[in-house]
Structure 1
Amino acid sequence: MSNTYTQLYIHIVFAVKNRAALLSTDWDERLRLYIIATVQNNGHKMLSINNMPDHVHMFIGLNPAQSVSDLMRLVKGDSSEWINKERLTKSKFQWQEGYGAFSYSKSQLVKVVNYINNQQEHHKKTTFLDEYRQLLTSFDIAFDERYIFKEPE
Structure 2
Amino acid sequence: MVNGIRDHIHLPFFVGSPAFDLPGFVRELKKSTNKLCSSELGHKGQFAWQSGYFAHALGRDRVDSCYDYIKSQQKHHIRMTFAEEWEMMKEAYGKDLVAVANHPEG
Q: Could you tell me the TM-score, scaled by structure 1's length?
A: 0.56
Q: CA deviation at 1:59?
A: 1.1
The 3 A distance-change label for structure 1 pair 59 and 136 is: farther
| Structure 1 residue runs of 4 or more that deviate by more than 4 Å after TM superposition | none
Separation of aligned partners in 1, 2:2 and 2:90: 19
**Aligned counterparts, 1:2-13, within 5 A:** none
- Point out the structure with the larger helix share: 2
Match of 2:81 in 1: 127
Q: CA deviation at 1:138?
A: 3.2
The structure, 1 or 2, with the larger RCO (C-alpha pairs under 8 Å, 6+ apart) is 2
Separation of aligned partners in 1, 2:97 and 2:73: 25
Separation of aligned partners in 2, 1:113 and 1:133: 22
Aligned partners of 1:102 and 1:139 also within 8 Å: no
- Point out the structure with the larger strand share: 1
Match of 1:86 in 2: 40
Q: CA deviation at 1:92?
A: 3.0
Instruction: Kindly provide the CA deviation profile for residues 42-78 of structure 1, in whole angstroms up to 9, marking residues without a partner as x.
Output: xxxxxx3202122111111113243111110011111
Q: Could you tell me the TM-score, scaled by structure 2's length?
A: 0.78
Separation of aligned partners in 2, 1:142 and 1:119: 21
Match of 1:45 in 2: none
